[in-house]
Chains A and B, each alone.
Chain A
Amino acid sequence: MTELMHRSEVAVSVELQTPDMTLNIGPQHPSTHGVLRLVAKVDGEKITEVEPVIGYMHRGYEKLAEVRTYAQMTALVNRIDWVSGFASEVPFIVAVERLTGIEAPERAQWIRLILTELFRISSHLVFMSSYPLELGATTPLMWALRERERVLDLIESVTGGRFHPNFNRVGGVKPAAGGGSQTKKVSQDLPAGFFDQTRAAMDKVLHVCDELDELVTGNELIKARTVGVGIIPADKAIEFGLSGPNLRASGVDFDLRKVEPILPYDQVDFDVVTAQGGDCYDRYVCRLEEIREAARIVLQAIDKIPAGPLQAKVPRILKVPEGQVYVRHENPKGEFGYYIVSEGSRMPYRLKIRSTSFSNLSILPWLLEGQLLPDLVAIMGSLDFVLGDVDR
């Protein structure tokens, strides 16, 4: 016999449920920095769940490396993170140099350092322009990009390219555009007037940092949108493998330029910028301060750069001895590393790229849960990833 329940005993759910709406953000969306796709479940403006879908830009660099010589790969690796191409070239070349036992001459190392820092400035200025734009402020975009042009001009005067320098060679750097052959005119390897132009450009960069301070950093509306939004605690940041300014904004003092320098960073004086809050605003401030520090490094480096050859002696056909190596470096966005396995041939047996943005992006689902839709844009922008770097 079935037991009849009294009406009052039947559990009735009177709570009205609104079904979640699935909102497909991207791959073509103004603020996904390329082709990131986010499948978000939203309840009104509130995000209940978000799943990033990546891979729209997969170009297979790790596989391509297996059928390319080491020299050919430098042209590819600077296309991984195109905003800071040179900075991703350096660890690859250093990894090959470690395997072969070739050491680049000192002057080449200093040139690498200068260019890395110039790319850091350029990359952070892109952030300075795109991040306020995502919050709706259009003017910082133009101001930051205006000064970035000067940095790109400098880079172009040395390497001949603005985005993809392809300037590193195993055992040194290539002679600068217009610098003449490195065997004949050692003193002309950097273009004439480069130091003066650099000083002038750094003045402009520092000036635009002050301008951005007035327009963005102290802006009450920017603070309202970013302070306390998207907080990443230090332990979570480490758990998800964050690095670079995203990690340092959470209060972790970790900078590979200090910890494991592969360029003469120990000979220049600079501070590691950290912040304590771990929110979007701190990530912004960290990057702004890093521009100032990078300008400081560049100014010191052009005073300290020694004379000398640009290229060590390297066999014409470079065969890398058997072995494996992992070399990492502080890319503008964080830790960028290459794991190379060599079987003694002209091409790597296997190349694993530890790209920064991929790890930095991994925190997104955890971070976005329960946030509002406008904050999604603010948080996503503050992580400063490049989709080419995510998908490789």
Chain B
Amino acid sequence: MNFWLLLLVEIVVILVVMLVGALVTIYAELKISAHMQSRIGPYYAGGKWGWAQPAADGLKFMQKEDLVPAAADHTVFRLAPYIVIMSALAVWVVIPFGPDLVVRDLDLGVFFVLAVSSLSTLGVLMAGWASANKYSLMGGLRAAAQLIAYELPLLLAVVAVVVQAGTMSLNGIVAAQAQPWFTVGGIEISAPFLIKGQIIGFVIFMVAAVAELSRIPFDMPIAESELTMGYLTEYSGIRFTMFFLGEYASMVAISAIAATMYLGGYWIPGVPESALNAVGPFVLLAKVAFLVFLLIWFRWTWPRLREDQLQDLAWRWLIPLGLLNIVLAGIFKVVL
């Protein structure tokens, strides 16, 4: 097929996946939180179960006035949401939905993911600075401080996976998990990295992922009760929607990465390699749905921590544990 045509198709597919994924996640959050709090949640929009509520909210936001504060740095203020949503989108480039269903199987896939996903903090910092609002500024600075706390544990957790898989390509990591681990009575048993010695790594990754997503218990950059809405305070209308969509899109993206690295991605035991291109996307989506549910569960159960408590958690617990985890992964790889 023509290169440009293929590229166009891929871009459209990614946009659709990201948008639908974000909308479904928003809907899931509305409904699951409602059930946790003895409420009903959206009920009327769309005729049944309120399924159209996220789309209706989006349409509503589009009609709102686009306000830019007079004292704001207009260019930066307008640019910030695009950077956030771009970083959420770019992650999807390397996520494999099947052995061949991947936009670009980069050799440095993991590296790429880490690089672009932390770009969103730049957008947040820009939003906080450009809003010319003290609450926004504090929110932006908190996000920057948070980056220092979670980025290192995230990196260390991922390094352990890379050590064990022996590759930085996400497709290669899935393939490494599909490799037979040991044989029992002629049956080859293979297991995802979560079982093959990466339990600590998975926990560290998920904690750091919650921090990266700025969700409760680590939503200090937004911290509604302290900073009104943090860096989002001055945003309204479509720009707010972009932040909002970006947040949920990166929630799905991070879950997809965690699913790929720890839960075997599109691979599932018992399905032959040839069928994986057809079954793979659904397997991956099921795993993503599970992780997204975990994130939603965290948010509606726990309160918010303090910024210094996150630093404490990261530097005193997660980073030493992450280093230990790398050593364990090395031992695991050599011995088993």
Hey, what's the 0/1 contact readout for B211-253 against A, CB within 8 Å counting as 1? 0000011011001111010000000000000000000000000
Q: How far is the CB of A129 from chain B (nearest CB, A)?
A: 11
Hey, what's the 0/1 contact readout for A125-154 against B, CB within 8 Å counting as 1? 000000011111111011100100000000
A374 at the binding interface (Cβ < 8 Å)? yes
Q: Which of A11-19, A217-225, A265-273 contacts B (4 or more CB under 8 A)?
A: A217-225
Within 8 A of B (CB), among A87-134: 132-134
Complex contact A142–B38 (CB within 8 A): yes
Within 8 A of B (CB), among A143-188: 143, 146
Complex contact B36–A139 (CB within 8 A): yes
Contacts of B224 in A (CB 8 A): 30, 136
Q: How far is the CB of A172 from chain B (nearest CB, A)?
A: 39
Complex contact A373–B303 (CB within 8 A): no
- In the complex, what distance in Å separates the CA atom of A139 from the CA atom of B36? 7
Hey, what's the 0/1 contact readout for B30-71 against A, CB within 8 Å counting as 1? 000100111100000000000000000000000000000000
Q: How far is the CB of B153 from chain A (nearest CB, A)?
A: 18
Complex contact A372–B308 (CB within 8 A): yes
Instruction: Say yes or no: A136-B309 contact (C-beta < 8 A), given A30-B224, A215-B301, A374-B226.
Output: no
Chain B residue at minimal CB-CB distance from A130: B225
B134 at the binding interface (Cβ < 8 Å)? yes
Partner of B303, one of A23, A45, A136: A136
Instruction: Say yes or no: A143-B303 contact (C-beta < 8 A), given A30-B224, A45-B138, A133-B225.
Output: no
Complex contact A45–B307 (CB within 8 A): yes
Complex contact A222–B306 (CB within 8 A): no
Instruction: Say yes or no: A143-B302 contact (C-beta < 8 A), given A23-B134, A30-B228.
Output: no
Q: How far is the CB of B35 from chain A (nearest CB, A)?
A: 11
Complex contact A143–B37 (CB within 8 A): yes
Chain B residue at minimal CB-CB distance from A28: B228
Partner of B302, one of A142, A221, A376: A221
Complex contact A372–B38 (CB within 8 A): no
B304 at the binding interface (Cβ < 8 Å)? yes
Hey, what's the 0/1 contact readout for B80-113 against A, CB within 8 Å counting as 1? 0000000000000000000000000000000000
- The number of chain B residues touching the other chain, given as a range, is 20 to 34
Within 8 A of B (CB), among A347-392: 372-377
B293 at the binding interface (Cβ < 8 Å)? no
Complex contact B39–A142 (CB within 8 A): yes
Complex contact A135–B304 (CB within 8 A): yes
Partner of A136, one of B134, B138, B216: B216
A31 at the binding interface (Cβ < 8 Å)? yes
B16 at the binding interface (Cβ < 8 Å)? no
Complex contact A31–B225 (CB within 8 A): yes
Chain A residue at minimal CB-CB distance from B227: A373
Please give the residue numbers on chain B whose beta carbons come within 8 Å of chain A beta carbons, in ascending order.
33, 36-39, 134, 138, 216-217, 219-220, 223-226, 228, 300-309
Identify 15 new A-B residue pairs, CB closer than 8 A, beyond the known A135-B304, A221-B302: A30-B224, A31-B226, A132-B303, A133-B225, A136-B216, A136-B304, A138-B33, A139-B300, A146-B38, A222-B303, A224-B306, A225-B303, A372-B308, A374-B223, A374-B304
By Cβ-Cβ distance, the 3 closest A-B pairs, closest first, are A136-B304, A142-B37, A137-B303
28 CB contacts below 8 A, A to B, read: A21-B134, A30-B224, A30-B225, A31-B225, A132-B303, A136-B216, A136-B225, A137-B301, A137-B303, A138-B37, A139-B33, A139-B36, A142-B38, A143-B37, A221-B303, A221-B305, A222-B303, A224-B306, A225-B303, A225-B305, A225-B306, A225-B309, A372-B308, A373-B138, A374-B220, A374-B223, A374-B306, A377-B225
